[in-house]
Every structure is written in structure tokens, then in C-alpha cells.
């Protein structure tokens, strides 16, 4: 497995805590164990809108939206959201992740029309 995680801007004050670029199950699980041990509890990671995006070389690619919450004073609070993309392969023991890429949302939201104009202008320049 390969696992990457970062924010969409790369400039958050917690970037060191979320950034990962790992290869191999042992390294991925060691990072996840450390990351989880140093995270709030309870902390919920909810994958929604999981859908397949293709099949290539016997692997199913997928995309999903992730929404993370924690509890403060008995009420849920947003921690983060983002997009997860990856691939899953079939093994003798069942499905296994081959690749997982997480990009967490940290950019301030803007009016969609303004974003699209900025993207088009950037590509033309």
C-alpha cells in the first residue's frame, strides 16, 4: 500500500501532524497508529459518497468525501473535510487497499463563479 495525506494548501498550522507519504503496510500502520494516538477521542472519520472511478490492471479505483468530527461539551464539531482517492485490489484473503490519497480542505470558500473565473484565467496565462 501507498498512503499520502496533506492539506490542499500545504500551509496549515497542523501540516506536520497530517502530512504523510508512506509506502508499505508497516510504515502506513505505524503512522496511522501514532496519528490516532495523538488525536482527540472520540474522533469520527466518515467516508461518504464513495463511488468507483475506474478499473485498471485488476484494481478498482474509487473516490470519496471524508468528514471528520470531534465532541466538545457533548456536541459534535467539525474538524476537517476532504477528498479521498485510492485503489483496491483483490487478494487471496479479500479486498486490500493498494493506494490511498487524502487531501484535506483548508482553503477558504469563495463564490463558485469567482473560483471558475480564476481557474480559467490561470490556465490561459
pLDDT at 10 over 70: yes
Q: Is 108 exposed, middle or buried (0-12, 13-18, 19+ CB in 10 A)?
A: exposed
pLDDT tens digit string along 20-53?
999 999 999 999 999 999 998 888 889 989 999 9
pLDDT at 119 over 90: no
pTM above 0.75, yes or no: yes
pLDDT for res 120: 53
Domains of the chain from N-terminus onward = 2-124 (3.10.450.50)
Three-state DSSP at 38 gives coil
Percent of the chain at pLDDT exceeding 70: 92
**Phi then psi for 103, rounded to 5 degrees?**
-125, 110
pLDDT at 70 over 60: yes
Confidence class for position 54, pLDDT limits 50, 70, 90: very high
Mean pLDDT calculated for residue range 76-103: 94
Amino acid at each position: 500500500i501507498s498512503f499520502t495525506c496533506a492539506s490542499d494548501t500545504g500551509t496549515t498550522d497542523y501540516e506536520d501532524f497530517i502530512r504523510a507519504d508512506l509506502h508499505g503496510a508497516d510504515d502506513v500502520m505505524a503512522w496511522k497508529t501514532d496519528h490516532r494516538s495523538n488525536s482527540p477521542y472520540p474522533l469520527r472519520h466518515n467516508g461518504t459518497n464513495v463511488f468507483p472511478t475506474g478499473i485498471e490492471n485488476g484494481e478498482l479505483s474509487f473516490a470519496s468525501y471524508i468528514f471528520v468530527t470531534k465532541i466538545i461539551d457533548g456536541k459534535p464539531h467539525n474538524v476537517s473535510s476532504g477528498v479521498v482517492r485510492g485503489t483496491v485490489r483483490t487478494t487471496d484473503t479479500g479486498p486490500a487497499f493498494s493506494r490511498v490519497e487524502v487531501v484535506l480542505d483548508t482553503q477558504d470558500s469563495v463564490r463558485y463563479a469567482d473560483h471558475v473565473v480564476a481557474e480559467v484565467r490561470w490556465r490561459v496565462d
